[in-house]
């Protein structure tokens, strides 16, 4: 769904990376619901990073608590941060989670596990500090990546595979309930990011997660998602985001 200047939902996220904001963008795009990707508009029109910084000010979120970091969602007077929390709110409104409370809580559980996973994926290139350049923490990145790819990535991906296996309501085709949910979209993004960052390791790891790979492919082929992925709205992966490709880390 094309971002529209008059959309009721406003997303505040860094304009040049997919990052965590992509999990929110994918939900809007897959649902076909208009949203304004605020920081991608010019600063002169109220966009740019300046709009995000304004949200982080003590009173930037209105009555709500000041957010720590983007992504931030504004919907009318409501301002929300934390990716999983935003998706918990959007899920029912976008038709991307089942109606019942147990399913919503389970979706949140898996979403929080995805959040842990992508944080660890990020830490492979920034194991010491986000404020230092990759080149300033390269030996540590090499060690961290080796551990991540040998132990943590297989453990997380294996968990996601079991989530799919366990969901008898969808015969392994969806993470939660019988239909597409925001969790499926985030799992798609996790696989895409890992393929970009660690193509060599992923070729190996994917062999043990056939349901996750099949889910990735099905999500990519959904008409609205496919249209989004082929559009300029999908920011290409790059070496500023969460998933970065440094060949020396990919063993």
Ligand X SMILES: N[C@@H](CCC(=O)N[C@@H](CS)C(=O)NCC(=O)O)C(=O)O
**Which residues of the chain form contacts with ligand X (CB under 6 A)?**
19-20, 69-71, 82-83, 115, 130
Continuous segment of H or E residues that includes residue 98? none
Nearer to ligand X, 14 or 148 (CB): 14
Smallest distance, ligand X to C-beta of residue 79, A: 13
Nearer to ligand X, 58 or 139 (CB): 58
Smallest distance, ligand X to C-beta of residue 22, A: 9
* Conformation bin of residue 236: beta by default, left when phi > 0, alpha when psi is -120 to 50: beta
Continuous segment of H or E residues that includes residue 81? strand 78-81
**Calpha distance 206→104 (Å, rounded):** 28
Nearer to ligand X, 69 or 222 (CB): 69
Tokens 């062999």 sit on residue: 207
Closest C-alpha to 251, from 204, 214, 213: 204
Smallest distance, ligand X to C-beta of residue 7, A: 21
Please state whether beta strands 72-75 and 78-81 pair in parallel, antiparallel, or not at all (unpaired). Answer: antiparallel
Nearer to ligand X, 117 or 213 (CB): 117
Q: How far, CA to CA in Å, does 142 sit from each of 106, 151, 236, 237, 244?
A: 34, 14, 24, 21, 13
Smallest distance, ligand X to C-beta of residue 20, A: 4
Nearer to ligand X, 15 or 19 (CB): 19
Smallest distance, ligand X to C-beta of residue 119, A: 7
């Amino acid at each position: 769904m094309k971002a529209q200047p008059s959309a009721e939902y406003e997303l505040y996220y860094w304009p040049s990376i997919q990052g965590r904001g992509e999990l929110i963008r994918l939900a809007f795009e897959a649902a076909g619901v208009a949203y304004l990707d605020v920081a991608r508009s010019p600063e002169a029109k109220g966009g740019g990073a300046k709009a995000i910084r304004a949200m982080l000010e003590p009173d930037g979120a209105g009555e709500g608590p000041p957010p720590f970091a983007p992504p931030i969602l504004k919907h009318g007077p409501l301002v929300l941060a934390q990716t999983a929390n935003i998706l918990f709110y959007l899920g029912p409104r976008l038709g991307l989670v089942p109606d019942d409370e147990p399913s919503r809580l389970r979706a949140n559980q898996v979403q929080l596990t995805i959040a842990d996973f992508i944080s660890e994926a990020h830490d492979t290139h920034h194991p010491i500090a986000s404020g230092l350049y990759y080149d300033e923490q390269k030996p540590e990145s090499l060690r961290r990546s080796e551990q991540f790819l040998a132990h943590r990535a297989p453990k997380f991906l294996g968990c996601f595979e079991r989530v799919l296996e366990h969901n008898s309501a969808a015969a392994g085709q969806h993470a939660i309930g019988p239909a597409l949910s925001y969790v499926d979209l985030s799992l798609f993004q996790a696989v895409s990011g890992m393929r970009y960052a660690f193509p060599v390791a992923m070729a190996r790891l994917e062999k043990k997660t056939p349901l996750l790979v099949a889910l990735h492919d099905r999500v990519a082929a959904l008409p609205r998602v496919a249209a989004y992925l082929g559009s300029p709205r999908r920011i290409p992966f790059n070496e500023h985001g969460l998933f970065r490709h440094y060949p020396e880390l990919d063993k």
